[in-house]
Structure 1
Amino acid sequence: MSDRTLSEAIRHEADRILNEHGLMAAMAAYGQPVVQGSYALDLMTWRDLDMYLVTEDRSTSWFFELGKAISECLQPSKMSYRNESNGESAHLPKGLYWGTYAKLFGQAWKIDVWAIDSEQYKRKEEAFALLQARLHDGNRPVILALKNELYRHADYRKRFFSVDIYEAVFEGVQSKEQFSVWLERHRGLTYSF
């Protein structure tokens, strides 16, 4: 299966999760749900869905009600909760988080939901729009190929991320070997892919 075909198949499954399984409707009862990440960029290589719930509510009681609603939609095997409202982890959004793990359509899915306020979401949306504007038919296949080759690496999503791949390709990187050089130069990380 080609990188493009795989991306389309995973995105179709994501559409079914959002609509047929009722995730968007369930979340809409608690705020404004927005799907971002690789789904919105049309660059899906694994079954991971990144969502924001835009709300001004800072309490946790409603967020546990949302967790119950998510659970009823997806019948997950595991859900993890995180409270980053005080912004203790600088690299994470300031808000509440559900990490949901479910088997859907015979496949393991991870769905990340961050509840954040509108001001924070506005900044994220602006950054996302800048990233989206740099994508085109010439660099999209390179990004998909690199993501497909690297997403099983033990440090992917721990020490280096999709955004690193995007930035590297925007700067002309075309292969894993070139990406390895880019990571060392820009992030101080040494890998031999």
Structure 2
Amino acid sequence: MTIKNSDTLIVSSRWKQKADNLLAKTDFVADLSRYGTVHFTGAYKYNLMMHGDIDLSVVRERPFTTEEVFNIFKDLYFKGKFRSYFIGGDWDDPRKGREFPEGYYVGLKEKIDGERWKIDVWFVSEKEYEKRSTDERRMNNLTHEERALVLSCKEHRNNHKLSITGQEIY
């Protein structure tokens, strides 16, 4: 089934509302705020959601240590608000600093009404976060037509199970 461009904005806003409900139900932002400033990124931030994927960064002045991230992971795990928890163990991944931020990754998964949801959390320094925020002005100023085009591309990707990231589409 193909959604018309005019309908993609409605579909996207429904995904955003579901994301808001998940975040409210779990009080996740409050939990993360104990460790730094929470910044939403990606499709959630720019109202370009077409599936259950929320990206965010927890930012503070100095870089997080491995031990701190393990303790945060443990705290989140024992709260038991999500179905699955995982932590990035590829600390020396060559994509860090390019495709991925210099920092630590924690992922959470949940299933709501049969839909799979994933929350990607990066723990990064202010310096790293600022370095990665260069596209913010462009993304905040998308026209209605550009937004509809991005959503149509994401819909096509999802319908055809293509391995294309949102960043590549933007």
TM-score range for the pair, normalised by the shorter chain length: 0.7 to 0.9
Confirm or deny that 1:6 pairs with 2:11: yes
Specify which of 33, 38, 42 is matched with residue 33 of structure 1: 38
Secondary structure of the structure 2 residue equivalent to 1:34: strand
Q: CA deviation at 1:104?
A: 3.0
Specify which of 132, 141, 148 is matched with residue 141 of structure 1: 148
Structure-to-structure mapping, 1:152-191, within 5 angstroms: 152-156=159-163, 160-166=164-170
Distance 1:112 1:74 in 2: 15
Distance 1:73 1:34 in 2: 23
Distance 2:146 2:38 in 1: 29
Secondary structure of the structure 2 residue equivalent to 1:42: coil
Corresponding residue number in structure 2 for 1:174: none
Specify which of 81, 93, 110 is matched with residue 118 of structure 2: 110
Structure-to-structure mapping, 1:26-65, within 5 angstroms: 26-55=31-60, 56-65=62-71
Q: CA RMSD in A?
A: 2.2
Q: CA deviation at 1:96?
A: 0.4
Q: Structure 2 length as normaliser, TM-score?
A: 0.82
Q: How many residues align?
A: 161
Corresponding residue number in structure 1 for 2:73: 67
Which ranges of structure 2 fall in alignment gaps of 5 or more residues?
none
Distance 1:140 1:132 in 2: 10
The 3 A distance-change label for structure 1 pair 13 and 115 is same
Corresponding residue number in structure 2 for 1:88: 94
Corresponding residue number in structure 1 for 2:25: 20
The 3 A distance-change label for structure 1 pair 59 and 80 is closer
**Is the Cα contact below 8 Å between 2:63 and 2:103 reproduced in 1?**
no
Which of 1 and 2 has higher RCO (CA within 8 Å, sep 6+)? 2
Corresponding residue number in structure 1 for 2:138: 130
The 3 A distance-change label for structure 1 pair 39 and 101 is same
Specify the code of the residue in structure 2 equivalent to 1:5: I
Corresponding residue number in structure 2 for 1:150: 157
Q: Deviations over 1:140-192 (max 9, x none)?
A: 11221121111254442xxx3323323xxxxxxxxxxxxxxxxxxxxxxxxxx
Secondary structure of the structure 2 residue equivalent to 1:119: helix
> Which is worse superposed, 28-37 or 75-84?
75-84
Which ranges of structure 1 fall in alignment gaps of 5 or more residues?
167-193
Distance 1:151 1:77 in 2: 22
Q: Deviations over 1:113-145 (max 9, x none)?
A: 011100111122232223322x11122112211
Distance 2:42 2:122 in 1: 12
> Which is worse superposed, 97-106 or 15-24?
97-106
**Is the Cα contact below 8 Å between 1:87 and 1:95 reproduced in 2?**
no
Paired-residue identity, %: 24
Q: Structure 1 length as normaliser, TM-score?
A: 0.73
Distance 1:27 1:128 in 2: 22
